Structure 1
Amino acid sequence: MNFALIIDLLVQNGATIVGLLRQPERAELRQLTHEARGTDGGPARMRLVKFLVRNLPPDHPVRRAAADDDATLGTPAATVDIDAELERFEALLAAMPPTTEEIIESVQARLRELPAHHGRAASGRATDVIVLDGRSPAFQYGADGELLPAVAEVNRVLRPDIDPWAAADWWTQPNGWLGVAPVTLLHGAREGDILAAALALGED
């Protein structure tokens, strides 16, 4: 395999490669790319090559080049500065925006950190209560443990029975209509504004 060719193809196909990988694999690829810089062939470059063979589809040009055993790992193309190309590819990886899947995973991880109760879903209809992985965010309940009427009313608009994650995210993120996260207005003078903001969603 010609390592210089592989790196040249990596840079050319960087966007498509990133789109094929999940966040853990992207992080691993970036680390392997960094380790391969400044080495004269050897274990670091071989680990990078094995990663590409393992994680890319068989018909991908980078995968085909990495799986080609007819050339030598340390044989560079005269026109390719391997370290410079590795640096370019590492920078490309760092600059790539998160994928939709990564954004969803990040939002869900944040929402799982909300204080929550187990087994509270039965205290309201599915349209009234947000339940995330069997746990109901505690902000929906009063000190007496009962579902807050204002929350139930808003949740019927947000439809947590269809997408509980989106409903919980709406409650906990700054709202352009309200100027603050809706959850912060519960129990206060502006509690009635929360429903108006939820109803405004259907007018966008």
Structure 2
Amino acid sequence: METKERCGWCKNDALYEKYHDEEWGVPVYEDQKLFEFLILETFQAGLSWITILRKRENFKKAFDNFDYKAVAAYQEDKIQELLLDSGIIRNKLKVRAAVTNAQAFMKVQQEFGSFSDYIWKFTGGKPIVSQRETLRDIPATTPLSDEISKDLKKRGFKFVGSTVVYAHMQATGMVDDHISSCWKRS
């Protein structure tokens, strides 16, 4: 049986391995998918990513397939419904931030044509391919994630600290942090 060498953070969990092999570090340019990862990453703040991955389908259902237009229009009754949904992370500040972020997301679209055009301008439109030998070499933040975080906050986004932003950059392929021994290495 052939075994693939993977980044150590995803080993021994089929869901984690599938995410690593099929999504993590793959460039995402579609606004809908970028919004999905924005929602998931902001809910992940302070929690493990596997917790969010295991609830991903619940989030998808709860947040109208990650339709940012629908989420931006949520009223108090929908917010209260979400706070009772045991399938997601029921953090009041994060639920409210999802609505705020959807509204800010659409403002960015109006200004830049798409959220993708906005976010990818920070990397010149292409992934940053890092040279990581081990998991210890992968930072939690970078000067670029600091810059993006600051800009997102200025635009009204919530729960977008530099660590969340860097995780978003990794998830959406803005940065390729697969370690050198990983089969997914660029």
Query: What is the TM-score when the length of structure 2 is the normalising length?
Result: 0.22
Larger Rg: 1
Q: Which has the higher contact order (CA 8 A, sep 6+)?
A: 2
Query: What is the TM-score when the length of structure 1 is the normalising length?
Result: 0.21
